[in-house]
Amino acid sequence: MAFFDLIHTDSNTLARAGVVHTDHGDIETPIFMPVGTVGTVKGVQRRFLEEDINAQIILGNTYHLYLRPGTEILHKAGGLHRFEGWKRPILTDSGGFQVFSLTDIRKMTEEGVQFSSHIDGRKLMFTPENVMDIQREIGADIMMAFDECCPGTADYQYAKKSMERTHRWLDRCIQRFDSTPDVYDYKQHLFPIVQGCVYPELRQEAAKRLRDLDRDGYAIGGLAVGEPTEQMYDMIEVVNDILPENKPRYLMGVGTPWNILEAIERGVDMFDCVMPTRNGRNGMIFTQNGVMNLRNKKWEDDFTELDPCGTSFVDHHYTRAYVRHLIHAQEMLGLEVLSIHNLAFYLWLVGEARKNILAGDFKSWKDDITPRLMQRM
């Protein structure tokens, strides 16, 4: 069985519906993947992820899981799936973004990146080889290559050198991945990451080089890191014009509901972002009719359902006034309710996108819903 089946491409856009096949289950695309950085989606119990939100795949982060609980514990548990009790697919980021965000406490060389743990200050080293080994031990179904994360505001020469280093590291990642066995009783897959900042020629060069490697799927990295939104869309178009149609495309760290729809229109299949849970913990939710800030006084005596159009039980079990009270009282339940709502909404949104792609009316549906998603309630 192929890793990815492309079922249908929209006739008016590049939007695609497909299925990714893993040993932990199938993933219907386009898909949003909740971020479970340290082995949990923050504030959301597994039962809600499975039964209410219906997440088909979640993320873990190599940097954070390496620091704690550590690969020795994860290996003893039988991998991250068994450690956290998640039976569906998992994708791990390589930890590159986190390491490169430690600007003041890391040193980069051709060998890799030396950094200090943000927990206890230990000196540690990430190389392409040990990042592959760590992700093998974590046991993700889909692993990311170790890349250099270039700032969105980098000049051309810096971006070019960064991309070239990413490619040299990728060669080492592939050599290590291909020469080591799966640690557990299921198959793992490696995605290279297309870099190149906001420079079309660099993105084209990277996409062509990675396409020729013929891996199971491809990630698009280094976007939503400070560049204007329109440049992000332009870079997606440049890259997807080159990447093979029969492989899944994963846009890393993006974004708002309307960002996701724009990227789906341009041929992206997979997404992750902390925004649903982070914004939820700060009192903000996304709905079909716009963005709500539950901290605002206008919801103080609004006793209607949290979201009458919502798909989660929390949308119909709690009122806006009550959830606002929880947020202002700093009760944990409020943070959990809004995180669950946002994740359920994101999964509903990509599910509706898939339905409309298959029905042949994605473009009209997307153009109709996008202005409503963006308005403030």
Catalytic residues: 93, 272
**Identity at 58, one-letter amino acid code:** I
* Helix, strand and coil in the chain, % to nearest 5: 45, 20, 35
What does the alpha-carbon distance between residue 117 and residue 119 come to, in Å, rounded to a whole number? 5
Is residue 5 within a helix (H) or strand (E), and if so which, with residue range? strand 4-9
Residue 189: C-alpha distances to residues 62, 141, 186 (Å): 15, 6, 10
Look at residues 124, 39, 128, 123 and name the one whose alpha carbon lies nearest to residue 84: 39
Residue 319: C-alpha distances to residues 35, 179, 292, 316 (Å): 27, 55, 13, 8
Backbone angles phi, psi at 230, to 5 degrees: -65, -35
Q: Residues 192, 219: contact at Cβ < 8 Å?
A: yes
Residue 251: C-alpha distances to residues 122, 226, 349 (Å): 32, 15, 16
The β-bridge partners of 108 are: 113
Torsion of CA 164, 166, 172, 178, to 10 degrees: -120
What does the alpha-carbon distance between residue 286 and residue 311 come to, in Å, rounded to a whole number? 12
